[in-house]
Every structure is written in structure tokens, then in C-alpha cells.
Amino acid sequence: MTTQTVTASAMSLSRNDANRRFCHAEDSTSLEELRSEVLGTLKGEQWERPWRVYDIDDMSTVEITHLVERGLMTPAFSEEAGEGRGFAVYGDNEASLEINGVDHFNLIGFREGEQLEPLWSLLSVLDDRLESSVSYAFDPRWGYLTAYPAKAGTGLRAYATLHLPALMLTGKLAATALELVGHGLGLAPLWGGAGGVVQISNVTRQTGPESEIVLEVEAMARNITAKERSVRKMLMREHPLQAKDQIGRAIGVAQHAWSMSFQEAVNLISAAQVGVEQGLVECSVLAVESAFGLMSRLQPAHIVLDHMDVKTDMLESPEIDEIRARVMRDVFAGSSVR
């Protein structure tokens, strides 16, 4: 069975208009004009798929958070305020564009699985087409100019989301993070590190070809996942009873809990997924849906929009925790532990 250690891929591409100051220093009239110009461009015929434009000011907190949870909007943009902000989604949630956030433009792509190269192919095309109507700020020495100097150069950030519970449990994740620093990469927990889910990404200014950054992140992701598989085998070999006990307890709680936080759900799904991959657990849902996909749809805004008839703008409530537990009971109802 394939080990789902590389659970998701994400990418962002930051650009700025050469004829305007950075967003934090530009006046609101100019930013409003830029937004109007770009939204007009998004309605053009040069795009293979249509752009869906959102009116941020009319959106609820839950709707905005839902976009963040789906990887289509950055948390920083969702929390900002100010004139001239715009947002649009390309095609069937294949990419998105933040306008006048930290930078004038931030193209974003997100997909489940090991998909960095396809993401770069898509964002590169969208970037070229946007540049045909906007003059990008570019310096021969520094490359594409961005509000944060660390992003100048390519303006690219590539992220690989990894499922590393064994490395986290054994305390080996810190050494892995130090190793990444030497390659200009960083490691950060996702969802507070619940379930051993982390992201690696390039964090230093890079001026080489974007494709090299993508290949570097992919290579390091594969290297780390190989270590994760090795540690899992070691744990199953040297501590089989403890490993089976932890996995069995996770399935038991998932089948019988009536209230559950998001972090707890992620931890339980993480343990169950390891059990499935080790041949210890039978779960029909995880045979057709990725563990990461299940984790994602248990996030608060997903619960509100997918399961609550009476919509609320609150993202923390006993009802959300109760519904999450119900979903978990349904998912693991027929599961068994060998």
C-alpha cells in the first residue's frame, strides 16, 4: 500500500506593479484603480478557464475562513483590511489570485498529493498571461521585487505538506528541521503540529530558475518521507505492542466519541492512517479518501458550511465539536483492528 506521507502541495507567486509603490505605502485611490484594472483583465478571453471574483467586504468570517482552509487564500490576506483588496478563483478551484494584500498580486495554487510540478506549470502560465497586461516590478540584480526582501528574486514559495507522526513521536523532527536549514528550506507545523502534519518550504531569497526551487523542495520531501517510513518500520519492529495499542485506542475513540476538537480528530485520523498503511486497520473510507482530505473537511468552517442548516459566523461552538464527532463515528463505524 502506498504511504501517504506527502499529503498536499501548495505554491504562491508574489508580484508587484512596476508603476506603483508597495501596498503598505500606496494611496487607496491607486490601489482601487489597480484592482479594477486587474479584475477587468480577468474577464478577458486569454484565460482557458473563467475567474470567479469574490466581494471580500460582503463575505462572512466563515466564508473567508473556508477559503483559507481550502488553501485558496492565505491567512495573512484573510486577516487584513484596507482599500483595494480583491480576490478571485480560477477554474474549478485550480488557483486563486489575491490583489493588494502584502504584495499587489499573489497567485496561489493548492492540490492534494505530490503535485508541485503541475502546480508550477499552471501558475507559470497564469503569471505570464497576467504580465501581458501588467508591468511587473523587476530589477536585473534582485529579480522580482516584493514587499518582503526574503521573497525577492523568483517571488516563489513552494510548500510540501508531509505526514510525519513517527519522526515527531521519536523526537527526530528537530534534527530534520536543522538539516533543511542548510538547504535554504524551513519546516513549520500545520494545524499546530496535530497528527504530525508539517509543511516544508523554501524560506531564503532565491534567484535561480523557479523549476530548481520546485525540484529542491520535492527532493527534500522525498528524503524526509523515506526517513519517516524507516522510523515507522523501526517502531513496529521494536515496539509492536505500544504501536498497536495507540492505533487501537485511536480507532476506539473515533468510533465512540460524541464531542471532538479539530486537533483531536487530526491526531486520531493520523494514527488510523498509519494503522491502515501497516496493515493493522481496515477502514473503507480511508481506502477511497485520503487522510488529509478527511482532516481538511473536519475544519471548523467546513463543518459549518457542509453540515449546519442554520449558518453561524462562529467557528468555535459545542455544536461544531458534536458534528465533527458524528462524522468521525460515521467514517470509522465499520473499521476493525487486526
pLDDT string in tens for the chain (338-residue length): 345 678 999 999 999 999 999 999 999 999 999 999 999 999 988 899 999 999 998 999 999 999 999 999 999 999 987 789 999 999 999 999 999 999 999 999 999 999 999 999 999 999 999 999 999 999 998 999 999 888 889 999 999 999 999 999 999 999 999 999 988 999 999 999 999 999 999 998 777 789 999 999 999 999 999 999 999 999 999 999 999 999 999 999 999 999 999 999 999 999 999 999 999 999 999 988 999 999 999 999 999 999 997 677 788 899 999 999 999 999 999 898 88
pLDDT at position 1: 36
pTM for the model: 0.93
**Separation between Cα atoms, residue 249 and residue 270, nearest integer Å:** 12
Residues 6 or more apart in contact with residue 103 via CB below 8 angstroms = 14, 15, 16, 22, 23, 146, 147, 151, 155
Return the C-alpha cell found at 81.
Answer: 483590511
Handedness of CA 260, 263, 264, 265 (dihedral sign): positive
287 three-state secondary structure: helix
Handedness of CA 259, 263, 268, 269 (dihedral sign): positive
pLDDT at position 310: 67
pLDDT at position 111: 95
**Separation between Cα atoms, residue 266 and residue 255, nearest integer Å:** 14
pLDDT at position 4: 65
Which helix (H) or strand (E) segment holds residue 52: the answer is strand 51-54
Q: What region does 97 belong to: left with phi over 0, alpha with psi -120 to 50, or beta?
A: beta
**Domains of the chain, each with CATH number or no CATH:** 6-231 (3.30.590.10), 240-337 (no CATH)
